[in-house]
Amino acid sequence: MKPHLLIVDDDREIRTQMRWALTGDFHVFQAGDRPEAMELFSETHPPVVLLDLGLPPHPNSPEEGLEVLSEMLQRDPFVKIVIVSGQGEKENTLKAVGAGAYDFLSKPVDIDELKQLLKRCFHVALLEREYHEMKEQLQGDFFEGMLGSSPSIRAVFDSIRKVSATEASVLILGESGTGKELAARAIHLRSSYKDGPFVPINCSAIPESLLESELFGHEKGAFTGAHTQRKGRIEQAIGGTLFLDEIGEIPLSVQVKLLRFLQEQCIERVGGREEIKVNTRVIAATNVDLQRGMTDGSFREGLYYRLAVVELVLPPLREREGDIELLAKSLLQGIANENGKPGLAFDKKALSGIKRYAWPGNIRELQNRIKRAVIMSEGKRLSLEDLELPPTFAPSGLSLKDARESLERKMIQQALQKSSGKIAPAATALGISRPTFYELMKKLGIESHKSIE
């Protein structure tokens, strides 16, 4: 649809000339006095108005036009009003600009100049409205740093509200990149431990030989290199919350000590003999199947039930209907501002592609793609190519589930081919963790040696 443009001028001939010149680009509405102008303004909601200040019943003074200007801005603060003034009306024109008019042109109007000005007006009006709408939407949909309005994520927000009021241990489940640490922080901020520290530790990022010391601390001389006494993460979290990310990666030897801590609320540092009483809430998270870990003996059953007093399942991004566009716009705004490129937006194809893509790496992948696109982009609109998204995703004749699996299989195979079958770089290229990559390979029946043939 053509954008709406309202022309307010008591000279019928001028209105007609402008309408004929502009009707190819805009849906033009015309008014010759204030009542007609305000009626059309309310009915058509034009983002841009061309306004002559001299209107009946006082065509030789600016009062009536200034009243129209004031009333329109009161009804819609984002409307762009361009004053079209006669010669010798500079003082009145400046008064109108001071009262909120966007710009002015002198009669007789140069049509090419007018078209350029209108193009700029509509562009600015669109950006301001998009920003305002997004800001309002974000304010309504933010929950302790988490963003979303879909039924699935709102159910998560409700669960966080309930569990935060207790001291129960929480196990957060979800694919890589779904925001498990954000959920843990939200629980902490709403709990009785909120005035204490929030101490996160990624259990998969610390070598097995160092993990025990990292969690429980050590005494001076406990092992080679232990030159001083050191408090572990559990002690650091006293009075607050300890967040154990990737809990499924903890070795059995450390699981035993962790279970004792959860049962007795006390610890011993490595190389120490003194029991230290600890008042710390524990929240754990994983993207692996701990039930299967209990079956194959890689995860202790007692530890699972101590951690999973309450289970909180975070939905993958592809199941959060309506949230993807909201998250993408919010991330783009923040990343663009950080990189000195305010005003960046997605073009229509990019937005459509974002909504249709399966996002196997979830929010983390979305963030990575947008960050890369912002850094590398040169224009004001990000395209599918900037985001490195393919133009089409779903082969015809497939269900959504089959199409998603087809895309996931293709992407994993391509990533394995580029990395010569090496899992770690392939997972990094897709913006997901190694455990998630393995899970997807198993689900899709992909073997690394076959995928690179």
- Which CATH number does the domain housing residue 28 bear? 3.40.50.2300
Q: Degrees (nearest 5) of the Cα angle 226, 228, 230? A: 90
Residues 355 and 410 in one domain: no
CB atoms near residue 235 (< 10 Å): 18
Residues 414 and 372 in one domain: no
Residues 36 and 132 in one domain: yes
Residues 90 and 205 in one domain: no
- Split into its structural domains, the chain has a count of 4
250 neighbors 211 (Cβ within 8 angstroms)? yes
Residues 295 and 167 in one domain: yes
- Which CATH number does the domain housing residue 249 bear? 3.40.50.300
Each residue's pLDDT, cut to its tens digit, for the chain (453 residues) gives 789 999 999 989 988 989 999 998 899 999 999 999 999 999 999 999 999 988 988 888 888 999 999 999 999 988 999 998 775 677 888 888 888 999 888 888 888 899 999 998 998 888 888 766 665 555 545 677 788 888 899 899 999 999 999 989 999 999 999 999 999 999 999 999 999 999 999 998 888 888 988 999 888 877 777 778 888 899 999 999 999 999 999 999 899 999 999 999 999 888 888 889 999 999 999 998 898 899 999 999 999 999 999 999 999 999 888 899 889 998 998 899 899 888 889 998 899 899 889 899 999 999 999 999 999 988 889 998 999 887 654 444 456 666 677 778 888 888 888 888 888 888 877 877 777 888 788 888 887 544 443
Residues 218 and 255 in one domain: yes
Q: Which one of 283, 315, 347 terminates a domain? A: 315
Residues 171 and 297 in one domain: yes
Helix axes 348-356, 323-338, angle to 10 degrees: 120
Residues 401 and 451 in one domain: yes
Helical residues (DSSP H) of 26-78, grouped into ranges: 34-44, 63-75
Query: Domain containing 276: what range?
Result: 146-315
Residues 371 and 352 in one domain: yes
Residues 154 and 200 in one domain: yes
Residues 237 and 265 in one domain: yes
Exposed/middle/buried for 409, CB within 10 Å: 0-12, 13-18, 19+? middle
447 neighbors 380 (Cβ within 8 angstroms)? no
Residues 47 and 75 in one domain: yes
CA separation for the pair 190, 120 (Å, rounded): 46
